[in-house]
Amino acid sequence: MRKIILASGSPRRKSLLESLGLEFEVYRPDVDETKRRGESPSELCRRLSASKAQAGAKAFPDSVIIAADTIVVIDGEILGKPSDRQEAARMLRHLSGREHEVITGVAVSLKGKTLVNDEHTLVRFRELTDAEISEYVSSGEGDDKAGAYAVQGKGALMIEGITGDYFNVVGLPLCRLGIMLRAEGVNL
């Protein structure tokens, strides 16, 4: 089997691939993540994951490259990683008591070809108090996460329900990834 490269600096994606027992290397591509005018959330995630995979393919041309990009969307607004804790609190107040969508673009590059797909999952937050938001933001858990929360950590205490792929909310939809790899003859 070809060497596998995870084109992402995300510790959550790294952990998810490790949970599958895969041997891989991590490569952190430098990709401009600025949203383009008129670009939908799905288009943004797909473009960014493809760009990361293609950067990885240039650096490791004989390898299988896996890349992803995750965002949170509510009322058409994209919630990326918060720039500071005040923004994190604003995001959590916006998500409180409501349902939002988590979208992950997934890309696989190998043999000069890049496959791109996306996964959509609905997440429903319970109503949060200002004290709960303040406590969670102070924990720092959501500092580097889209939507300012982590489903696999204390953020789970805020989530009433999930419709769709749990691993998508963590940052890498494993079932979708497995299907994409299998389509290219890579069996995990």
Give residue 187's pLDDT: 84
Give residue 34's pLDDT: 86
Give residue 2's pLDDT: 84
Give residue 74's pLDDT: 97
96 vs 144: which has the higher pLDDT: 96
Which residues participate in catalysis according to the annotation? 69
95/147 Cα distance (integer angstroms): 8
pLDDT of 188 higher than 90: no
Q: Which amino acid is at 93?
A: R
105/70 Cα distance (integer angstroms): 6
Give residue 164's pLDDT: 97
Give residue 35's pLDDT: 87
Residue 27 in 3-state DSSP?
A: strand
pLDDT of 1 higher than 80: no
Per residue in 12-26, pLDDT tens? 999 999 999 999 999
Residues contacting residue 135 through CB under 8 Å, at least 6 positions apart:
none
Farthest CA pair distance, the chain: 52
124 vs 185: which has the higher pLDDT: 124
49/125 Cα distance (integer angstroms): 27
Number of Cβ within 10 Å of residue 105's Cβ equals 27
Tokens (6 digits) for 167: 């691993």
Structural domains of the chain, with CATH: 4-183 (3.90.950.10)
Mean pLDDT of 128-145: 96
Per residue in 25-79, pLDDT tens? 999 999 988 889 999 999 999 999 999 999 999 999 999 999 999 999 999 999 9
pLDDT > 90: percent of the chain: 89
